[in-house]
Amino acid sequence: EDPVGNGHDEKENNPFAEYMWMENEEDFNRQVEEELQEQEFLDRCFQEMLEEEDQDWFIPSRDLPQGMGQLQQQLNGLSVGDSHSSEDILSKSNLNPDAKEFVPGVKY
């Protein structure tokens, strides 16, 4: 069985069978393009959602006016003073020293 002059066997019905995939090339291209557009749309929506979420977060360096950063540093540097001794505070307390320890969620 020698191939005919065009390089195809005589038994082969359609000599263009290997090129038949090109018949639906436009539909394939349209489908791929729609998928790409859909993915681009989803990416844009996701990016917008992230930007909106960033706007909702409170970021002191961005959201506080200038000068507030210095005030915030001063507040961070503050500590509770030891001007009163703990015994002095206990002597003025109205709390019952014999009371049971408070446990949140437990009813007595």
Question: CA 36, 18, 31: angle at the middle one, nearest 5?
Answer: 15
Q: How much is the average pLDDT of 80-99?
A: 72
Report the alpha-carbon distance of residue 55 to residue 48 in Å, rounded. Answer: 11
Q: Given this model, what pLDDT does residue 1 score?
A: 47
Q: Given this model, what pLDDT does residue 81 score?
A: 62
**Stated pTM of the model:** 0.36
Report the alpha-carbon distance of residue 51 to residue 35 in Å, rounded. Answer: 24
| Helix locations, 1-108, DSSP H | 25-56, 60-63, 68-77, 86-91
Over the chain, what is the mean pLDDT?
77
